[in-house]
Amino acid sequence: MKKILLYDTTLRDGNQGENINFSVEDKIRVAQKLDEFGVHYIEGGWPGSNPKDIQFFELAKNVDFKTACIVAFGSTRRPKTHPKKDSNLQALLNAKTRAITVFGKTWDLHVKKVMSNTLKENLAMISDTVAFLRSQGREVIYDAEHFFDGYKANPQYAAKTIQAAVSGGANVIVFCDTNGGTLPFELQEIMEQIMPTIPVKVGIHAHNDSGLGVANSLAAVKAGAVMVQGTINGYGERCGNADLTAIIPNLQFKMGIPCLPDENLFRLTEVSRYVSEIANMPPFNGRPFVGKSAFAHKGGIHVSAVMKTSEAYEHMDPENVGNRRRVLASDQSGKSNINYKAREFGIKLKENGSDSRKIVQEIKRLEHEGYQFDGAEGSFELLMKRLSGQFDPPFHLESFRVTTEKNKDQPSKAYATIKISVGSKEEITAAEGNGPVNALDNALRKALNKFFKAGLEKMHLVDFKVRVIEGQDATAAKVRVFIESRDEKRIWSTIGVSEDVISASWEALADSFNYRLCKAVDEKKGKKG
């Protein structure tokens, strides 16, 4: 059985995606993570194009990559220039990588109208470049840019460009769907036509402009490709590149074609989220296999079936890719959802079903008011515990006051005064912040620290979102506030709803602290947390 070689281009092609800009240090960290994951080739960048990529390859020389081969990327020689005198090719050699990827033009439209070159000279540029790099002892991967568009326009010339790379000694020929417009059946037909003429390994490099990057990559493997190029999370220019986080499990679990050791696959979700964190891109919940919602169930009928047998509504075990099953609570929930969540949270409900019915009814009422608990599991857990008599809030708000101050040419400041009660004791505390919610957070934290030793200094607010529920009331509309918090062990989300954004923020903030204090109590008692 053939094994697929994984070629990651997140650090080069992925870095061309909108709002993505890896620093040199970022690129080293991502490369190390991909190496640990078991990726075979990691494209580090184009050393002839910018100082950042040159620095990456200098730093990479001192990193002990145990699995991956670091690859330098560049173009064929310039027209009418000897390879030895081409500065880009010299920069590729100076990167000191074992393998080099070069791209050349396949589509005669690019040769004549974009490069203003001749078809004959383009063939010479391809063969000369590959032969020169091979003579320097490098493994050469040749990316046939715009291959499928070029083949459809002029199949004879497209085939000649491939033969030029083969004659130069290329180790791997990679067919590129650079514009991302080829359909899977077209791609497979074209590959099956040309594959018999290619005596070396073949790969695929697909873009996602038609939403088919993954499908085209799998079709190429079906047609004989043994190298798949892509990026983590599908990052890349325009609509992105083929997403390796979907390609890898499809190859291994669906097609039975190995590409990574089985013991590495459970780290797929971790790798996806690590790269999104480094790229400063919010994780896409709906991303197949690794997204937060990939194995989430909301409808009561679905949940009831999944509780009996997971394959009823799941195409695979989420743990195989390091993800987990999630059951959501909403106004579409039935008792099955509530019973599942109770087991997940370690909450004991009455066997006669009265607690479940009460919780379902309250969820429906609150969601009619604008709450949305499938995005606020911290608040939902507190709600379940309160309605089942297993939660007594450790503190109560008596009052708060927030003021903001803006002076000319100075950043705004906010000041908050709060009064809370803990049992029979009351505490009034004031604090300032860079905004009203931050000021409330600081004041509440300051007050609670006088009553509780629960490690609140390790708890941090990491995300704050405001959503308008009904827009027709303009600035008087009801708003929904989500707050995401974390400590050294967990991340949790809470919600608040009100016509007043500060009141909604307070509600979400109070739930966040209540959740953390509740977990501290559970941990002392040795409960699940």
Question: Of 449, 413, 443, which Cα lies nearest the Cα of 428?
Answer: 443
Tell how far CA 370 is from the center of its chain. Answer: 29
Residues 295-328: tens digit of each pLDDT: 877 766 676 676 677 677 778 888 899 888 777 6
Partners of residue 69 on adjacent β-strands: 41
More confident residue, 309 or 245: 245
Q: Which of 237-251, 274-288, 471-485 has the highest mean pLDDT?
A: 237-251
Task: Kindly tell me the burial class for residue 204, based on how many C-beta atoms sit within 10 Å of its own C-beta (0-12, 13-18, 19 or more).
Answer: buried
CATH architecture of 396-525: 2-Layer Sandwich (3.30)
Task: Kindly tell me the burial class for residue 61, based on how many C-beta atoms sit within 10 Å of its own C-beta (0-12, 13-18, 19 or more).
Answer: exposed
Q: How far apart are CA 32 and CA 185, in angstroms?
A: 36
Q: How far apart are CA 402 and CA 431, in angstroms?
A: 10
Longest Cα–Cα distance in the chain: 90
Phi, psi angles (nearest 5°) of residue 202: -125, 145
Would you place residue 183 in the very low, low, confident or very high pLDDT band (cuts 50, 70, 90)? very high
Q: pLDDT value at position 326?
A: 72
Residues 167-182: tens digit of each pLDDT: 999 999 999 999 999 9
Say whether pLDDT at 334 is over 70: no
Q: How many CA atoms lie within 13 A of 321 on its CB side?
A: 30
Partners of residue 404 on adjacent β-strands: 414
| DSSP, residue by residue, 157-210 | HHHHHHHHHHHHT-SEEEEEETTS---HHHHHHHHHHHGGG--SEEEEEEB-TT
164, 126 in Cβ contact below 8 A? yes
Neighbouring residues of 333: CB distance < 8 A, sequence distance ≥ 6: 298, 300, 303, 360, 363
Would you place residue 131 in the very low, low, confident or very high pLDDT band (cuts 50, 70, 90)? very high
Question: Of 403, 421, 423, 420, which Cα lies nearest the Cα of 412?
Answer: 403
Q: pLDDT value at position 324?
A: 81
Residues 68-126: tens digit of each pLDDT: 999 999 999 999 999 999 999 999 999 999 999 999 999 999 899 998 899 999 999 99
Q: pLDDT value at position 481?
A: 92
Domains of the chain, residue spans:
5-260, 296-387, 396-525
Question: Of 265, 251, 243, which Cα lies nearest the Cα of 2?
Answer: 251
Say whether pLDDT at 370 is over 70: yes
CA 356 vs CA 254, 259, 267, 346: distances in Å:
38, 46, 36, 14
Q: Amino acid letter at 117?
A: N
Partners of residue 494 on adjacent β-strands: 483
Q: How far apart are CA 72 and CA 77, in angstroms?
A: 15
Q: How far apart are CA 123 and CA 108, in angstroms?
A: 11
CATH 3.20.20.70 fits 5-260, yes or no: yes
Question: Can you tell me the mean pLDDT for 481-491?
Answer: 85
Say whether pLDDT at 529 is over 60: no
Rounded to the nearest integer, the mean pLDDT of the chain is: 89
Q: What is the residue whose two structure tokens read 């993505």?
A: 20
Q: What is the four-CA torsion angle of 447, 453, 457, 460, rounded to 10 degrees?
A: -80
**SS3 for 450?**
coil
CA 462 vs CA 21, 176, 453: distances in Å:
21, 40, 22
Say whether pLDDT at 332 is over 70: no
Say whether pLDDT at 1 is over 80: no
58-62, 137-141, 315-319, 418-422: segment of lowest average pLDDT = 315-319
Would you place residue 134 in the very low, low, confident or very high pLDDT band (cuts 50, 70, 90)? very high
CATH of region 296-387, choose from 1.20.120, 3.30.70, 1.10.10, 1.10.238: 1.10.238
Q: How many CA atoms lie within 13 A of 318 on its CB side?
A: 21
% pLDDT > 70, the chain: 94
